[in-house]
Amino acid sequence: MSRCQQPTAGRHDSNHGYIYRQAMLYQKGSLQQSMAVMTTPPQRKTLNAGNQLKVYADLVRLYPDNEAYLRQYADLLIEHGQLTTATEVLRHLYQLLLKDGAPGKADALSHQYPQIGRIRTDSMQEHLAIETLLPSTMRNRLWQRLHTLRIKEGEHLVRKGDQTDALYLVHEGELAEFTSGEKNRPVLLNLIGAGDLVGENAVLQPGRYTAEIVANKDSVLIKLPSKKMAAALLKEPVLKNALQHKMDARNMVTWISLCPLLQDVPLDLRKHMASESSLRQYGAGIMIHKAGERLNHVDLIVRGTAGYLLENNGLIKRLKSLTPGSLVGATSAIHDNGCPADMVSDQSVDILHIPYGSFRSVTEAYPPLRKALLTYAERQQMLLMHSLNELQTQQLR
């Protein structure tokens, strides 16, 4: 964040791209609605208290990185019931403390105000500039000028189902990658800014696109033909490893984003979970978790299927099928419980393990997720009870 900018909760909140605004519209509305429900009736405000809030709002605008002003302003906002704005201010202060080399103070702040979540944004993580790893011929100004592509805001670069023969280096502007969620609402998967690549699948995993890529702003791209890139990867293993890492990270964000319970979680929080997660494969008929087992992570089914099974008097009952997008252990973030039944794979299944601490932090940082988990827990309990009743009925016959 620039020293002259007003505090903001996220790096992209001020973007004015058409697709990004559409993709985030539902999320912001959901957050504000949840905060409104959580807000307790405010104390009667005196004229002096109102003036004090205005004074600190002005001070924060003038000195956006002053720790004392930010703390006092956040406390006043909470006192006046303006929880959403207070959370934005506290998140800005948290990132400011990390940037200034005070992780201890940042951690203390996150404990004092758990609503901000202990989340490190992408700006705090090591970033490898892939552009610098490209072959020198592709970094040549003349070569880039001959392969320049300009697209306007709102214009598609790739549509779902397309199969391209190139990667693209973003020289200027920004692209938005998104897919369709429930009720065909757009779900933002990624924002690709200047210096970043898009379309690495064209070389590493050729096939048709499963998402849309559109210009979030007027953009200038450099086209990198797949054949030339494939030849470059044979000579530059570091470049190949960097592209593979980027593709794996984006795949994890996509898997998390396709989970109905997590689709409305802001992109930076979904990326946080993805960066901490790992993928594991299980063969058919494997006991993945036993009934009552305490989990230290949340399981997200990515590919294949598994199920909750219950054995009683030699009779095995399938309580529930777990298909791609299903979560296991997610309700542990709100209830201290274990796996509800034996979890067994039906066939080869890929499962994304999201560390419990990471999932819990996201739940704290995004209150609507907690509300959704409560509803989800009640529904799952009803389904399991219904299956158990059916099993008891069969045993009595």
Higher-pLDDT residue of 261, 397: 261
State the pLDDT confidence band at 22, using cuts at 50, 70 and 90.
Answer: low
pLDDT tens-digit readout, 161-183: 998 889 999 999 999 999 887 77
| Contact between residue 368 and residue 30 where contact means Cβ atoms under 8 Å apart | yes
Higher-pLDDT residue of 118, 199: 199
Position 270 scores a pLDDT of 93
State the pLDDT confidence band at 384, using cuts at 50, 70 and 90.
Answer: low
Average pLDDT over residues 6-22: 44
Cα Dmax for the chain: 81
Position 390 scores a pLDDT of 61
Average pLDDT over residues 143-147: 90
Position 299 scores a pLDDT of 93
Q: Does the pLDDT value for residue 127 go beyond 60?
A: no
Query: E strands, 259-374, where?
Result: 278-282, 287-289, 297-303, 306-312, 315-322, 327-328, 342-345, 349-355
Higher-pLDDT residue of 266, 376: 266
Position 314 scores a pLDDT of 67
Higher-pLDDT residue of 352, 114: 352
Average pLDDT over residues 66-87: 86
Cα–Cα dist 253/189, whole Å: 7
Among 60-69, 83-92, 101-110, 332-341, name the one with the lowest average pLDDT.
332-341
Q: Does the pLDDT value for residue 25 go beyond 70?
A: no
pLDDT tens-digit readout, 314-340: 667 778 889 999 998 887 766 667 787
Which of 100, 83, 103 is CA-nearest to residue 9? 83
Tokens at 118, concatenated: 């202990």
Secondary structure class of 273 (helix, strand, coil) = helix
Alpha helices, H only, the chain: 18-38, 47-62, 67-79, 83-99, 103-112, 136-139, 141-146, 201-204, 226-235, 237-257, 267-276, 356-365, 367-396
Among 240-244, 276-280, 387-391, name the one with the lowest average pLDDT.
387-391
Domains and CATH numbers, the chain: 18-120 (1.25.40), 130-236 (2.60.120.10), 277-396 (2.60.120.10)
Range from 48-52, 112-116, 229-233 that averages highest in pLDDT: 229-233
Q: What is the CA radius of gyration of the chain?
A: 24
| Contact between residue 126 and residue 191 where contact means Cβ atoms under 8 Å apart | no
Q: How close are the terminal C-alpha atoms of the chain, in Å?
A: 68
